[in-house]
C-alpha cells in the first residue's frame, strides 16, 4: 500500500507543480475518510534550494529543505516536478540514481509537467508511453526517441511510471494514483478538499492555442449537473440536447469543446465512478448498482469494469469495499 512519498527538490524547481504534490500527499485527511501519507521533501544537499518563477530563472526564491535523499530509498512513491530553464539540461546523477532505484524495486514514480525530462534522463521512459506539457511533447519525443509520447492526454501510466501533462494536470495524475491504491472514495475526499473534479475527461489538446470563437455561449455546467443527478436514466443525446435547448449537433460540438469528450463517453465514465463509490460504500448487489448507475445490467457493468479498470466489480469490492468501515 502506498504510504511513504519522497518529493525530489532539484534546483530550478517550479513552485506550482511542487505545491500540487504537497497538497495531494502532504495533508492528513484520515478524519474525513481519506488517506494519510508520510511525505518527505528531499534534496541532495539540504539547505536553501532555488525555486524558479520563470523559465529563464530571472525570478524566484529560496526554499529551505532539511532532508537529504536517504528517505527516497524506502519510499513507495518518488515524485519529480517541472523545473525552469532548459528541460533537457543535465541533472545531477544522484537524483537520477534515486529514480532508477525506485523503478527497479517496483515503487511508483511520478512526474509532473516537464519533470518527465528528468525521467527521460534516468532512462525510465525507454520502452514506455509518456506525456508532458503540450508545448514540449515534440521536444520530448525528439530528445528521448525510446518513448512514445502521447500529446493529447492529461497523464499516462505505464508499468508504475506516471507522467503528467502541464501544471494542473499534475492533480489529475496524483489523484489517479490515489484512486489506484486507495479507491475512488479516497480520491474523492482529496478532490473535494481541493475543490477540483475527481477526474477530468478528455485531454490536453483542448488547451492548445486556437482561434477564439466569435460568440461565447453560456457554460454547459447546469446540464452537466443535471446529467449527474439522472445517471440512472436513459440519456440519449436527443434528450440531453433538449435539456440544453440546443440542436443535437450543436450540443455534441459544445460538449466536446468544453469537456474534451463525447457525451456518451463522459456519461460512461461518470457512471463508472458512481459504481466504484457504491461498491466501496454499500453492500448493494451488482445488479442493483448497475441499475442505479445507468448501466442497466450486471453484464454491462462488468464489461465496463474490465475494459476501463481491468478488473471485476467483485474484485474491486474485495480490494476497496472495507475502506469506509475501516
Q: Which phi and psi angles does 159 have, rounded to 5°?
A: 50, 55
Higher model confidence: residue 195 or residue 314? Answer: 314
| C-alpha span between 135 and 274 (Å, rounded) | 34
Per-residue exposure over 196-227, b if at least 16 CB sit within 10 Å of its own CB, e if not: eebbbbbbbeebeeeeeeeeeeeebeebbeeb
> Could you give the percent of the chain with pLDDT greater than 90?
63
Residue 104 is predicted with a pLDDT of: 98
CB 26: neighbour CB atoms within 10 A? 16
Mean predicted confidence (pLDDT) in 105-116: 96
Q: Is the pTM of this model over 0.75?
A: no
N residues, the chain: 326
Higher model confidence: residue 12 or residue 122? Answer: 122
The grid coordinates of residue 115 equal: 519533470
| Whether the predicted pLDDT of 182 surpasses 60 | yes
Among residues 168, 163, 169, 167, which one has the least CA distance to residue 148?
163
Mean predicted confidence (pLDDT) in 219-229: 89
Judging by DSSP bridges, how do beta strands 60-65 and 47-52 pair with one another? antiparallel
Query: pLDDT digits over 40-97, tens only?
Result: 999 999 999 998 876 666 688 999 999 999 999 999 999 999 887 667 678 999 999 9
Query: Is residue 247 within 8 Å of residue 241, measured between CB atoms?
Result: yes
> Could you give the percent of the chain with pLDDT greater than 70?
89
Q: What is the mean pLDDT of the chain?
A: 88
Amino acid at each position: 500500500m502506498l504510504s511513504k512519498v519522497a518529493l525530489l527538490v532539484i534546483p530550478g524547481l517550479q513552485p506550482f507543480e511542487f505545491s500540487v504534490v504537497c497538497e495531494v500527499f502532504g495533508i492528513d485527511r484520515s478524519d474525513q475518510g481519506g488517506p494519510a501519507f508520510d511525505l518527505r521533501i528531499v534534496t541532495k544537499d539540504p539547505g536553501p534550494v532555488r525555486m524558479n518563477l520563470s523559465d529563464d530563472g530571472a525570478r524566484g526564491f529560496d526554499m529551505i529543505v532539511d532532508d537529504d535523499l536517504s528517505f527516497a530509498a524506502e519510499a513507495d512513491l518518488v515524485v519529480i516536478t517541472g523545473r525552469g530553464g532548459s528541460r533537457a539540461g543535465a541533472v545531477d546523477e544522484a537524483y537520477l540514481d534515486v529514480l532508477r532505484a525506485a523503478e527497479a524495486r517496483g515503487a511508483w514514480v511520478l512526474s509532473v509537467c516537464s519533470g518527465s525530462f528528468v525521467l527521460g534522463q534516468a532512462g525510465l521512459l525507454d520502452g514506455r508511453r509518456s506525456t508532458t506539457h503540450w508545448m514540449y511533447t515534440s521536444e520530448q519525443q525528439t530528445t528521448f526517441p525510446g518513448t512514445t509520447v502521447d500529446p493529447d492526454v492529461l497523464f499516462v501510466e505505464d508499468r508504475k511510471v506516471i507522467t503528467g501533462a502541464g501544471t494542473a494536470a499534475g492533480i489529475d495524475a496524483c489523484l489517479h494514483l490515489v484512486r489506484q491504491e486507495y479507491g475512488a472514495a479516497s480520491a474523492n475526499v482529496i478532490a473535494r478538499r481541493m475543490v477540483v473534479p475527481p477526474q477530468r475527461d478528455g485531454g490536453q489538446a483542448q488547451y492548445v492555442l486556437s482561434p477564439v470563437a466569435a460568440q461565447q455561449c453560456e457554460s454547459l455546467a447546469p446540464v452537466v449537473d443535471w446529467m449527474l443527478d439522472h445517471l440512472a436514466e436513459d440519456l440519449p443525446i436527443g434528450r440531453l440536447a433538449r435539456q440544453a435547448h440546443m440542436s443535437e449537433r450543436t450540443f455534441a460540438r459544445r460538449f466536446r469543446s468544453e469537456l474534451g469528450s463525447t457525451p456518451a463517453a463522459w456519461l460512461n465514465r461518470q457512471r463508472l465512478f458512481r459504481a466504484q463509490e457504491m461498491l466501496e460504500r454499500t453492500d448493494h448487489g451488482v445488479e442493483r448498482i448497475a441499475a442505479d448507475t445507468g448501466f442497466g445490467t450486471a453484464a454491462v457493468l462488468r464489461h465496463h469494469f474490465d475494459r476501463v479498470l481491468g478488473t471485476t466489480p467483485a474484485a474491486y469490492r474485495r480490494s476497496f469495499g472495507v475502506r469506509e468501515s475501516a
